[in-house]
Structure 1
Amino acid sequence: MTEDVGSRWQLGPARVLQVALGLVSGSLLVRSWVAARSDFYWDDLILAGRGGSLPLLSADLLIYDHDGHLMPGAFLVAGIATRIAPYQWILPMITMIALQALASYAVFRLLRKILGLRPALLIPLALYLFTPLTVPAFAWWAAALNALPLQIALAWVAGDALELCRTGRRRYAISGLLVTITALLFFEKSVVVPFVAFATVALLAHIDGSPRPLRSTARRGAPLWTGSAVVLGGWAVLYLSTVDSQFEWAGPERAFQLFHHATSLGLVPTLLGGPWTWDRWIPSPPWASPSTSLVVVSWLVLVAVMLATMRSKRRIGAVWVLTAGYFLLSVAAMVITRWGADTTYELAQTLRYFTDTAVILAICTALIVRAPARNPVVVPFPARPVVAATVVAAFLAGSLWSTYTFTRSWAENPTTDYLTTARASLAEHQDAPLLEQPVSIWVLLPVAYPSNLVSRVFAPLPDRPAFSDSTDRLRMLDDSGTVVDAQVTWVRSIEPGAVPDCGHLVDQRSFVPLALDGPLTGWEWTAQLNYLASADGEISVAMEVGDPVRVPVHRGLNSVYVRLTGGGQGLRIKTLTTDLSVCVGVGPVGVVVPK
């Protein structure tokens, strides 16, 4: 009877392959649902704005310091998608799902090389496919264009390294280098890829009892390691010459707090399918908010698993040490590159800074499963698959709930309605230039300047007004994305001029000062110039301290609104058209607000 029960739980290679494909398909269905519930957010607008307005293969687009990132591949993909269908979510969604499918296959391919097609392969595969650790980075297009190519490369190059060391075939070195280069084009953190590949091969050799695993790995994989060193050296030169990285040490107390939030409130609960709940304040992304009981139980389970595996398996100490070291390295990189005066500890709980740890955990699990046992297992055979299936099912249930609660929070995105409304409203108001302004703070905060300006964000749209530093009809986009009539506040006003029936007479090509009724600090101001022009032409307008702006004027009595940067006690105006004279009267200088 026991033998019959045990035989029912045995899975041959063909059945394992079927179950694995089922897990991959199921995870892709879940991720497709997540992607369908997502939309453009924050950096997505920066990528789309630049990709839709700059030449596709230009250095201005591709070799660009994006908040410390060098990611020409991401800008290229965003540029292509934006040119085909500007601000249509379908193409970003397809790219996210396609990259996730490649990452899932790469992890399965690697696990198969480590474990073969046996039932134990399904455990690390399910861990990678469904862990909530990777969900926040997947759901955000800009983050996915960083995270998923790295996950693909970590698994694929490690698999190539294993085959290179086993067979000696150089084609695996070539494909490994090509994948590494591709990953570097999307995310500079991909510099870790060759090191993870080396560690995977060396740990596998160590587990299998090789007397000199480091030496054999270095010798057999030399073509890949040598080529990787050349690639990383060239990439380092390009990165350091392009990116102005701001490294800042947060101090031991703050660094510890970030580590605590990244570990106890971030990574560890995801090992049980947590965090189950998320917090958020818009426009920030959601962050993991596990309960205290989940945190405590997660730590207890992790420690118990570590102790149990160390007692039951041989030669796995280095596996645990290097896995923990990889995660700590990711947290350290976050601490020194993302810490600032306004940084909150919840940043670590967004999980996206160490999402690639999911691949490392899958490798760690596979290596531990493969490691030889210290003593014969005394658990009856039928009980083992039942326990494993129960644990996996519980993990999947928790992970799916965490994915659902994250997606529900993530779907609260003001950018969706803002873009929809702005697209329609801009198309309806093309009769006059729209004065430059930031988009709503619920879409992009001022820290994104100048990428938060409407001329950058909406540059890809074909049906829109021109964006200019001057306009004869003042309008603005309100927080809903609607184009509305606007006015200039009277922060300061232009003093009356001395010329009777004229005010300030500007009839020569040198600057004429227009005094204000008080000083203005250096900032972005809008001046309403009420003028009488003798003919059509152009004038130049500037703050007392600031760069001039060319402004078209029209014959007769008119008003023009000019966006100026600078400050001082007055304005400076001169004519740029021969024989043009302009009389300028009293008018406000301030900020633009809805009328």
Structure 2
Amino acid sequence: MTQTEIRPAVLTGSRLPVLVGVVLVAVQLGWRAPGVLRSFFREDDFVLIVRAHEQDLGWSYLFTPLGGRLTPGGLLLGWFPARADAYDWTVVAVIMLVVQALVSLAVLRMLVVIFGRRPAILGPFVIFLVTPLTLPVLTWWSASLSALVPQLAVAMAVASHVLWERTGRRVHAIAAVSWVVAGALFSLSVAMVPVLLFVLSRVYLRLRRAPVLWTLYGFVVTVSVVARLATSGWHAPDPATGVRFLWRLIGQTFATGLIGGPGRWYFGRPDHGIALPAPALVVAAWIVILIVVAVTVRARANAAAAWLMLLGYVLAAGALPALLGSVASVGEILGAQTELLAGTAPVVALCLGLATLGPDPWPRLPRLGAVVAIAGVVALAVWSSSAYTGNIRTQPARDYLATAAAELARTPSSVQIYDTPVPRQLMSSWFGDYRMTSRVLGPLAGPDLRDAMRRPAPAADPMVFDRTGRLRPMTLTTVVAAAPTSTPACYRLVAGRIDIPLAHDLPPRKYTVAFSYTATRAALATFSLGGARVPISLDRGSGVRYLQAVGGGPAVRISGITAGAGVCVSGIRIGSPAPRPQ
């Protein structure tokens, strides 16, 4: 058994391993670029774009969580392309690919700094490059903002810290702390990196006495934990759900991801899949993991520490934030989300190197076995990645936005467009008001029309978007209706107002209202539904007026009616806007 330690890197040897690593980065980008370019905005991405258009770049925008994640750095990076051209996926895809290239080069640098320019570093590096655990975040803009830069920060922080431990130069210590802080601005999981660095120093390095540096590291950890609890709180699931989540995340998703899995994906949405490894692959993954751990622990004295360090980081940075957050509401299925594990990929490469790259070379047979194993991982990773990118379907969302943009381009600002939810292929129902057309499609409209979409006025013939993105005349899906029982059928003016009782109380929210009326001459009036008052104008003769009102209660009131206008309301419907059937 040989002692595994991080010796000063020998950088005077052949540059060939580094050059091969750079070529592999180019191959990775060329391999993943088509899938990234075929992807498109989804769910949280639209929230990011809406917020960037509705808010100035300030504290409120930066420090409001996005999708439950506090990521001021990600929101800052996302603000500029959203403002420049809201739905230009090509720009976003290029940004993600550039950051991915920087991440891969940073991991290569980390391995070179720690282990030197030796061909053996290419093994852990290839595992990092091909793992499907990092693929879904590369096709999802908002997820990549809180996953890609943290990977870069982890790799750079580890390399800088190791250089400081070796040389004692202050510049490396400053760089290490700076990278940890920068990464924590994108994802609070990076706050676990100082713990990783402490274990790394304690086991593999000489652990310099530097109270200021370790105090700064501790401060970053403390602030990040407090910020996480302050913004998202603590929502622990019941123990059974927590255990099932951990098994799903680590026992299935992470374990199969280490060997190139998951192999299969479940697409609950056409543009996003979660890991669904076959039971046989889970068993095979654990057999491979146990063999690798047993062989390395037997051959390398500190290999066990490397594997425990990896497990601890996955638990602290990947599992714990979700376990204290969304698992209680979403359930164990969250363990199939590879996004939770994407940030651990550089640490996988680091710990694999620590467990296998000792001062003495391996015998010929284990080396051949490692080459065969890596080839198998690459083959399975190619299969898994192809299964993911080949099943992404984004054309419906692209077509909807393109059609809506064309409709808005030829629509004058005088047309009243009422709010309806965008189709599910863009956003699910739990996004609330963020999924309304006035907010999602607002960035595609001119300033005047955008303002009209956000505050539509009462109108006789408003329009709404249908599921294909076309503007259509509006009708209502009725929640409650009322009609007079008198003859003639008319709610008449009494004491200067018309009160219309409803069949049941309406809970407070925004409603769309349609009422039929007759008037002997043009008139003005005010509509209220137990809440805000909405001014309306009525034309002479008979007609229908649509309006949107916030309120609720048991009755509708129309008041302030122009005297002598002979207004008679013959019916009222309250509900939600919808396209009129053709």
Residue 6 of structure 1 aligns with which residue?
A: none
1:507 Cα offset (Å): 9.2
Instruction: Say whether residues 1:334 and 2:335 are aligned partners.
Output: no
Residue 463 of structure 2 aligns with which residue?
A: 475
Residue 405 of structure 2 aligns with which residue?
A: 423
Residue 534 of structure 2 aligns with which residue?
A: 550
Query: Conserved in 2, the CA contact under 8 Å of 1:494 and 1:586?
Result: yes
The C-alpha deviation readout for 1:522-550, integer Å capped at 9, x for no partner, is 55432113346799887543323xx3153
Instruction: Say whether residues 1:224 and 2:208 are aligned partners.
Output: no
Query: Conserved in 1, the CA contact under 8 Å of 2:274 and 2:337?
Result: yes
Change (3 A) 1:536 1:388: farther
The C-alpha deviation readout for 1:190-210, integer Å capped at 9, x for no partner, is 2223222333333322xxxxx
Aligned ranges 1:142-541 → 2 under 5 Å: 142-205=142-205, 213=206, 216-217=207-208, 219-220=209-210, 222-234=211-223, 241=230, 243=231, 245-282=232-269, 285-329=272-316, 330-341=318-329, 343-372=330-359, 379-380=363-364, 386-412=368-394, 414-430=396-412, 431-463=414-446, 466-467=452-453, 468-472=455-459, 473-496=461-484, 503-505=491-493, 513-531=499-517, 539-541=525-527
Residue 33 of structure 1 aligns with which residue?
A: 34
Q: Judge which range, 166-175 or 115-124, deviates more.
A: 166-175
1:232 Cα offset (Å): 4.5
d(CA) in 2 for partners of 1:231 and 1:484? Answer: 53
Instruction: Say whether residues 1:90 and 2:119 are aligned partners.
Output: no
Query: Conserved in 1, the CA contact under 8 Å of 2:520 and 2:540?
Result: yes
Output the amino acid matched with 2:481.
Answer: S
1:233 Cα offset (Å): 4.5
Aligned ranges 1:30-69 → 2 under 5 Å: 30-55=31-56, 57-69=57-69
1:249 Cα offset (Å): 2.8
Query: Conserved in 2, the CA contact under 8 Å of 1:506 and 1:583?
Result: no
d(CA) in 1 for partners of 2:216 and 2:394? Answer: 46
Change (3 A) 1:233 1:291: closer
Query: Conserved in 1, the CA contact under 8 Å of 2:506 and 2:552?
Result: yes
3-state SS, counterpart of residue 481 of structure 1: coil
The C-alpha deviation readout for 1:327-362, integer Å capped at 9, x for no partner, is 223223322211245x25332112111211211111
For structure 1, which runs of at least 5 residues remain unmatched after alignment?
1-10, 206-212
Query: Conserved in 1, the CA contact under 8 Å of 2:498 and 2:559?
Result: yes
Output the amino acid matched with 2:405.
Answer: R
Output the amino acid matched with 2:397.
Answer: T
Change (3 A) 1:283 1:408: closer
Residue 17 of structure 1 aligns with which residue?
A: 18
3-state SS, counterpart of residue 259 of structure 2: coil
Output the amino acid matched with 1:593.
Answer: A
Residue 8 of structure 1 aligns with which residue?
A: none
TM-score, length basis structure 1 = 0.86
The C-alpha deviation readout for 1:335-391, integer Å capped at 9, x for no partner, is 2211245x2533211211121121111110111233356xx85x34xx565444333
d(CA) in 1 for partners of 2:425 and 2:548? Answer: 23
3-state SS, counterpart of residue 516 of structure 1: strand
3-state SS, counterpart of residue 272 of structure 2: coil
Output the amino acid matched with 1:151.
Answer: Q
Query: Conserved in 2, the CA contact under 8 Å of 1:497 and 1:504?
Result: no
1:551 Cα offset (Å): 3.8
1:521 Cα offset (Å): 4.5
d(CA) in 2 for partners of 1:537 and 1:299? Answer: 77
d(CA) in 2 for partners of 1:236 and 1:333? Answer: 10
1:502 Cα offset (Å): 7.3
Q: Judge which range, 138-147 or 98-107, deviates more.
A: 98-107
Query: Conserved in 2, the CA contact under 8 Å of 1:41 and 1:413?
Result: no
Change (3 A) 1:18 1:246: same
d(CA) in 2 for partners of 1:454 and 1:369? Answer: 54
d(CA) in 2 for partners of 1:453 and 1:254? Answer: 33
Query: Conserved in 2, the CA contact under 8 Å of 1:469 and 1:564?
Result: no
Change (3 A) 1:29 1:223: farther
1:223 Cα offset (Å): 4.1
Query: Conserved in 1, the CA contact under 8 Å of 2:191 and 2:220?
Result: no
Residue 3 of structure 1 aligns with which residue?
A: none
1:402 Cα offset (Å): 1.0
Query: Conserved in 1, the CA contact under 8 Å of 2:133 and 2:338?
Result: yes
Query: Conserved in 2, the CA contact under 8 Å of 1:507 and 1:580?
Result: no
d(CA) in 2 for partners of 1:181 and 1:419? Answer: 37
1:513 Cα offset (Å): 2.7
Output the amino acid matched with 1:277.
Answer: R
Output the amino acid matched with 1:141.
Answer: W
Q: Among the aligned pairs, what percent are the same residue?
A: 27
Q: Judge which range, 360-369 or 418-427, deviates more.
A: 418-427
1:235 Cα offset (Å): 5.0
Q: Judge which range, 423-432 or 35-44, deviates more.
A: 423-432
d(CA) in 2 for partners of 1:238 and 1:578? Answer: 59
Query: Conserved in 2, the CA contact under 8 Å of 1:53 and 1:459?
Result: no
Query: Conserved in 1, the CA contact under 8 Å of 2:405 and 2:445?
Result: no
d(CA) in 2 for partners of 1:336 and 1:233? Answer: 16
d(CA) in 1 for partners of 2:525 and 2:172? Answer: 65
Residue 5 of structure 2 aligns with which residue?
A: none
d(CA) in 2 for partners of 1:366 and 1:291? Answer: 28
Count the aligned residue pairs. 561
The C-alpha deviation readout for 1:230-269, integer Å capped at 9, x for no partner, is 444555565555x1x2433322222221122112321111
Q: Judge which range, 176-185 or 74-83, deviates more.
A: 176-185
d(CA) in 2 for partners of 1:495 and 1:532? Answer: 14
Query: Conserved in 2, the CA contact under 8 Å of 1:54 and 1:61?
Result: yes
Residue 125 of structure 2 aligns with which residue?
A: 125
d(CA) in 2 for partners of 1:309 and 1:410? Answer: 39
1:281 Cα offset (Å): 1.9
d(CA) in 2 for partners of 1:89 and 1:310? Answer: 46
Output the amino acid matched with 1:15.
Answer: L
d(CA) in 2 for partners of 1:371 and 1:296? Answer: 29
d(CA) in 1 for partners of 2:194 and 2:155? Answer: 11
1:518 Cα offset (Å): 4.7
3-state SS, counterpart of residue 13 of structure 1: coil
Output the amino acid matched with 2:441.
Answer: F
Change (3 A) 1:513 1:235: farther
d(CA) in 2 for partners of 1:231 and 1:340? Answer: 27
d(CA) in 1 for partners of 2:513 and 2:357? Answer: 72
TM-score, length basis structure 2 = 0.88
Change (3 A) 1:30 1:223: farther
